[in-house]
Amino acid sequence: MLNIAVFCSGKGTNLQAIIKTIHEKDIEAKVSLIISDKEKAYCLERAKHAKIRAIFVNPKNFPSKQKFENRIIGYLKEENIGLIVLAGFMRMLSPFFVQNYSNKILNIHPSLLPAFKGSANAVADALDYGMKITGTTVHFVDEKLDNGPIVLQRAVEIAENDNEDSLRQKIQQQEHILYPLAIQLFVEGRLKIEGRRVEINPENYNPQD
Ligand code: GRF
């Protein structure tokens, strides 16, 4: 059984979708730990409802980023975490942290990377740019922001009458399918990183699942 930690700073709708899918599909993994850098983040509430250990780690309580991350690493070790899932975690991890969990951290970004790489408002940015298509990307995390090898992507069409809210909703609907699927592929050992490419072992893999 692989222990997963989810890091989140906000609503936690992806967290919810991940917990639900792991349960429904009987995936050999367990969300054992939720870490948030925001005390009032709703993802912490969701974690409590799901009876998962949930910890608010206040960055302001640490004299340096390294000390903050060391505390988090302590929690990860306690729970024997084998995969870290960033789901709306609005804080960049240091190279030190990433190297500690090399190829064991996933992130989701609400655009078709590398479009709107590094943007904290990728949904609004796609609208402002006049894009006709945007989407979402699950990728491995490396030392640079929104940069690691891409696991899965899904496109979303932008309609004439879309606004930020409606477009975010469409993208999140796709995220709630895509992120659990990427996690399942990881848990089943079917992702192989070759440079920038992630090969997916096709056994039982149906992108429409
Ligand atoms: C998602 O749209 C994700 O792409 C971005 O942050 C958002 C998190 O939403 N990184 P939620 O907290 O899972 O609802």
The residue whose C-alpha atom lies closest to atom 5 belonging to ligand 1 is 88
Q: CA 101 from chain center: how many Å?
A: 15
201 or 6, greater pLDDT: 6
pLDDT over 70 (residue 204): no
Residues lining ligand 1, judged by CB closer than 6 Å? 8, 10-15, 87-88, 108-110, 136, 172, 175
Contacts of 106 (CB under 8 A, 6+ apart): 83, 84, 85, 86, 138, 139, 140, 141, 151, 179, 182, 183, 186
Asked if residues 158 and 180 have their Cβ atoms less than 8 Å apart, the reply is no
The per-residue pLDDT for 205 is: 62
pLDDT digit string, tens, across residues 67-81: 999 999 999 999 999
Mean pLDDT (the chain) is 96
pLDDT over 90 (residue 201): no
pLDDT digit string, tens, across residues 101-140: 999 999 999 999 999 999 999 999 999 999 999 999 999 9
Domain ranges of the chain: 1-101, 109-136+153-209
For domain 1-101, is the CATH number 3.40.50.150?
no
Helices (H), ranges, the chain: 13-24, 42-49, 65-78, 95-100, 122-129, 164-187
Residue whose tokens read 């592929």 = 185
The per-residue pLDDT for 134 is: 98
Q: Comparing 1-101 with 109-136+153-209, is the CATH topology the same?
A: yes
The per-residue pLDDT for 202 is: 78
Report the SS3 class of residue 12. Answer: coil
In this prediction, residues 18-46 reach a mean pLDDT of 97
The residue whose C-alpha atom lies closest to atom 8 belonging to ligand 1 is 88
Q: How confident is the model at residue 206 (pLDDT cuts 50, 70, 90)?
A: low
The residue whose C-alpha atom lies closest to atom 7 belonging to ligand 1 is 88
Q: What is the pTM of this model?
A: 0.96
Homologous superfamily (CATH) for 109-136+153-209: Formyl transferase, N-terminal domain (3.40.50.170)
The per-residue pLDDT for 207 is: 60
The per-residue pLDDT for 203 is: 72
